[in-house]
A and B are shown apart, each in its own frame.
Chain A
Amino acid sequence: ILNVEQSPQSLHVQEGDSTNFTCSFPSSNFYALHWYRWETAKSPEALFVMTLNGDEKKKGRISATLNTKEGYSYLYIKGSQPEDSATYLCASPGGADGLTFGKGTHLIIQP
């Protein structure tokens, strides 16, 4: 069973500050690492799919890095805005063909 861990579980950040959080996963048999944003009352929305060690991807103020050798990925948000409040999920394909998700980091941006 694939074990995907995220930390912290929740995070309060002042509007305008930058923040980051972590996803860790087994480094053996790595295939891909997904990041999703899940806002309340909406569906999870894909942010990034990363496959190569050293990958760095960016979408607006959000970016992510990947280290497959040590089994972690960081998600960064620069200049947080209230609309960034959401649960951020990372996931990796497990032994089955679906994604194994972490429990998420619940981010709250305080005005």
Chain B
Amino acid sequence: GAGVSQSPSNKVTEKGKDVELRCDPISGHTALYWYRQSLGQGLEFLIYFQGNSAPDKSGLPSDRFSAERTGESVSTLTIQRTQQEDSAVYLCASSPQRNNEQFFGPGTRLTVL
């Protein structure tokens, strides 16, 4: 069956521009997570969605970051006024329920020039 998909796979943008990253979770998975891996760092949790509940935004690094999820389907992560330190691989994962194993997408590699 289809796994988690993300688009674009690569994004190069200029400092100050806004970017939008998309995640399509596995159908039926109620939990959706965004992480990022900056160069030389571990995976860093950003935000979590569970069903129709308000998302846990505690991991977002600044107010330039926001995310939305439509019901239990697609999610978008938006970064406004990108900075060079935003360059990272952004990974999305979904799971059937909170705290089950997570299924990761292939990631979006973001480069901010």
Residues of A in contact with B (beta carbons under 8 Å apart): 31-32, 34, 36, 42-46, 49, 89, 91, 93-104
Smallest CB separation, B103 vs chain A (Å): 7
Q: Does B91 contact A (CB under 8 A)?
A: yes
Q: List 7 A-B contacts (CB under 8 A).
A: A32-B99, A43-B105, A46-B103, A93-B99, A97-B98, A98-B33, A98-B47
Smallest CB separation, A28 vs chain B (Å): 17
B: interface residue count bin? 20 to 34
Contact with A along B62-102 (1 / 0, CB 8 A): 00000000000000000000000000000101000011111
Q: Identify the 6 closest CB pairs spanning chains A and B, nearest first.
A: A98-B45, A46-B101, A43-B104, A101-B43, A103-B42, A97-B48
- A44: which B residues are within 8 A, CB to CB? 43, 91, 93, 102, 104
Complex contact A34–B98 (CB within 8 A):
no
Since A49-B101, A97-B50 are in contact, a sample of 9 more A-B pairs with Cβ atoms closer than 8 Å, ordered by chain A residue number, is: A43-B3, A43-B4, A43-B105, A43-B106, A44-B43, A98-B35, A98-B47, A99-B43, A103-B42
Complex contact B104–A45 (CB within 8 A):
yes
Chain A binding surface, main DSSP class:
loop
- B107: which A residues are within 8 A, CB to CB? 43
Taken together as a complex, chains A and B put the C-alpha atoms of A71 and B105 apart, in Å, by: 29
Complex contact B91–A102 (CB within 8 A):
no
Taken together as a complex, chains A and B put the C-alpha atoms of A49 and B101 apart, in Å, by: 6
> Of residues B3, B33, B43, B103, which shows the largest number of chain A Cβ atoms within 10 Å of its Cβ?
B43
Taken together as a complex, chains A and B put the C-alpha atoms of A1 and B16 apart, in Å, by: 30
Q: A98-B45, A98-B48, A98-B56 are in contact. Are A46 and B106 (CB under 8 A)?
A: no
Taken together as a complex, chains A and B put the C-alpha atoms of A12 and B49 apart, in Å, by: 38
Q: Does B46 contact A (CB under 8 A)?
A: yes
Taken together as a complex, chains A and B put the C-alpha atoms of A51 and B107 apart, in Å, by: 28
Complex contact B100–A49 (CB within 8 A):
yes
| A43, closest chain B residue (CB) | B104
